[in-house]
Amino acid sequence: MTSVLNVDTIADKAGTGPVGLTKQIALKGFITYDGTTTPSVRDSLNHSSFTDNANADHTASHTNNYDNATNYLALGTGGYTANGAAGGHIGFDRISSNGNESAPTTSARRISHQVSSTIDEQKYASVAFAGDLA
């Protein structure tokens, strides 16, 4: 026999707040942004700041840190470039302007944009983060 659970609210043990998802693998943050000449954040969750380091090279800082710098997932998509070309891919932990590695940290991820073999900023970019929070 199957069961159905219908609820309006799930609260913490004290009944005073929401349940914290700190140790379950679930989406713990995201950022959608315009990564062109003057980058601007459209919407976000668990995001404290967004830094424009150089052309197609940004850093997204988290409000709540992840528990391990190398054990949380970052996924990204890119849309159209500033000049209207089809979108490319988004990479992580690589500095676009010089190709060097930038190690991930629990508090931030470096984001780079590329179309084919060319570094190019993305007009419609989105990044999601999943993993355990500290």
The pLDDT of residue 94: 76
The pLDDT of residue 18: 74
The tokens for 52 are 């424009």
Contacts for 96 with CB less than 8 Å, ≥ 6 apart: 54, 55, 56, 57, 112, 113, 114, 119
Residue 16 CA to residue 11 CA, distance in Å, equals 7
The pLDDT of residue 65: 95
Q: In tens digits, what is the pLDDT along the chain, a chain of 134 residues?
A: 688 888 777 777 888 877 776 666 678 999 999 888 788 899 999 999 999 988 888 999 999 999 999 889 999 988 776 666 666 778 888 776 677 788 899 999 999 887 766 777 888 889 999 988 88
The pLDDT of residue 78: 82
Amino acid identity at 91: G
* Matching residue, tokens 């197609």: 56
Contact 39, 54 (CB under 8 A): no
Q: Any bridge partners for residue 117, and if so which?
A: none
The pLDDT of residue 84: 65
